[in-house]
Amino acid sequence: MNTVPKLFVAIDQNDINTAKKLIQKLTPKLCGIKVGKELFTACGPEIIEWIQDKGFKVFLDLKYHDIPSTVEKACFVASQMGVSIVNLHALGGKDMMLAAKEGIDKSNNNPYIIAVTLLTSMDSNALKGIGFTSSMNDQILNLAKSASQANLDGIVCSARDIRNIRDFLPENFLYVTPGIRLYNKDKDDQKRVSTPLEAIKMGSDVIVIGRSITEAEHPEAVLNQIYDEIT
């Protein structure tokens, strides 16, 4: 299995030059780069190639959620691009996740394939709002178990979820946690947040940080500070 950095910086931008300028302030020794829907929709595979040429590992965060054969083929293509982490929504179901894994296995590369359980922007009210009646914890645990049964490598969850679920999941399961804030009070649209060090202490293997770094006056200084804190 490939090794991945403990920290991925989410470059949520829609302009290739702005994205490149931002990435050039960062260093592959300290972080990987997460390419999500905004950047990928705006810039496509070209930006992935550029980022990898600079020596960064890439987490392609497109959260696939579609019929199994579509997701299988998308995962194959994503894997062929050489990215280090690919993800999908566990809510797409076990068949979709099994198909995703098949897509990865057919490729020449071996990225981690992980499933989003519940978005860190969702809380129990949001869950009720979409008609889910089980508790948030049960919902997350069910989705995580189903990802593990589909032989995925891990999940995306809130660092706060890990302690409630890890006893029911494989020992080497990968926990990737967004919803990180330098100070717990600055949440933006995230609901279930933790600081970088809290997340690592709670069992996170990889933390994902976007705006706390990218909107800082000196992103490189904040990255250095976080790296020192968590290593």
Q: Would you mind telling me the total number of residues written for the chain in this entry?
A: 231
**Residue 55 CA to its chain's centroid (Å):** 19
Does residue 140 belong to the site contacting ligand C5P (CB under 6 A)? no
Does residue 119 belong to the site contacting ligand C5P (CB under 6 A)? yes
Does residue 208 belong to the site contacting ligand C5P (CB under 6 A)? yes
| Among 51, 88, 99, 209, interactor with ligand C5P by CB under 6 A | 209
Confirm whether 63 is a catalytic residue.
yes
Does residue 36 belong to the site contacting ligand C5P (CB under 6 A)? yes
The count of other CB atoms within 10 Å of the CB of residue 88 is: 28
Stretch that binds ligand C5P, among 76-84, 98-106, 114-122, 128-136 (CB under 6 A): 114-122
The count of other CB atoms within 10 Å of the CB of residue 1 is: 10
Q: Phi, psi at residue 176, to the nearest 5°?
A: -110, 125
Angle, helix 68-80 to helix 94-106, in steps of 10 degrees = 30
Stretch that binds ligand C5P, among 99-107, 113-121, 129-137, 144-152 (CB under 6 A): 113-121
CB of 223 vs ligand C5P, minimal distance in Å: 13
Are 190 and 160 contacting, i.e. CB atoms less than 8 angstroms apart? no
Stretch that binds ligand C5P, among 20-28, 91-99, 136-144, 178-186 (CB under 6 A): 178-186
Does residue 61 belong to the site contacting ligand C5P (CB under 6 A)? yes
Site of tokens 């717990």: 184
Active-site residue list: 63
